[in-house]
Homo-oligomer: A and B are copies of this chain.
Amino acid sequence: MKIGILGYGNLGRGIECAIRQNDDMELVGVFTRRDPSTVKVDSDVPVYSADKLAKMQDQIDVLMLCGGSATDLPKQTAEYARMYNVVDSFDTHARIPEHFERVNAAAIASGKIAMISVGWDPGMFSLNRLYANAILRDGNDYTFWGKGVSQGHSDAIRRIDGVLDAKQYTIPVESALEAVRNCENPELTTRQKHTRECFVVAEEGADLARIEKEIKTMPNYFADYDTTVHFISMEELKRDHAGIPHGGMVLRTGKTGKNGENNHVIEYRLQLDSNPEFTACVLVAYARAAYRMNQRGISGCKTVFDVAPADLSPLSPEEMRAHLL
């Protein structure tokens, strides 16, 4: 399978790494909208201008779209689905239906597969919501995120006057999680599910009390949460908060039996040192499926819901049945 990467940020770099762990894949090139000479990749793979993609269809089986969901992917996915099998990580949940329609039209026209919203949420968490709902019909769903870095919330803090840099961790509330696991079916408010912890580097002489208040009262981002703010030095931030860990849990609790007397808990949990590298691994597995499905004549926009698990694995059906079933 010959793979191209469009966009070389954290996700693109993660995909470059992930392809090295998959013997049946080969990285053809990294494509960028910047000047290719300014992009330094980790391997000896060539860096091309994104313009070259107009004429490389015979050299690439699946193109990995590593742009952002805010502005890149709403345009790029449909555009490149007209030329390639593509995989994206579009993660604006509320806009998935419209993204699907736009991309589906393009992929059906080209006869390619466009696999959208791949990653862990949306992605593996979505899959677990679907499986658990199909099994436990009478029950409740819960999704907790963290402990992990929220890029959006970190950025929001950085925009405050007097802040040099910041890192924000989303943390699930342990007592809420325990109530769910104990089948108490709690109804949880935003505040009861997660807390937010912020590590902030302020300018010298900045009004720390004002910064702290601006963070804690920021609508949408922090106002609905119990938020803790720690002011630290730039050295401490770089030393102790350089990583991009994340994770979380999807749970469903449900009842079965003549009178609903039996309780069940299904829990899927991720604990990730590197959010983008793990996301990249999921995208690469779905690139394999996109290629195989397209080889079988399937086209159009697909999500993780449409992919038979066997298509993700490099093993043969016989090996899977013998060793994984």
Contacts and interface: CB of A to CB of B under 8 A. Distances in A.
Interface of A: 14, 17-18, 21-22, 42, 93, 96-97, 100, 117, 122, 124, 126-131, 133-138, 181, 247, 256-258, 261-274, 277-278, 280-282, 285, 288, 303-310, 312-315, 317-318, 320-322, 324-325
A54 to B, nearest CB: 30
A194 B119 CA distance: 33
Contacts of A285: 134-135
A281 B136 contact: yes
- Interface centre among A272, A310, A321, by most chain B C-beta atoms within 10 angstroms, is A321
Contact of A96 (B96, B272, B322): B322
Copies of this chain, count:
2
Nearest to A244: B262
Contacts of A304: 309, 325
Given A131-B312, A324-B133, A257 B277 contact: yes
Nearest to A285: B134
A226 B288 CA distance: 44
Contact of A257 (B17, B122, B268, B312): B17
Contact of A278 (B256, B324, B325): B256
A262 B281 contact: no
Given A256-B281, A264-B278, 13 more contacts: A18-B137, A96-B325, A127-B131, A133-B313, A134-B312, A135-B281, A135-B282, A265-B272, A267-B270, A267-B271, A305-B308, A305-B321, A306-B308
Contact of A303 (B96, B303, B312, B321): B321
A117 B126 CA distance: 24
A82 B98 CA distance: 44
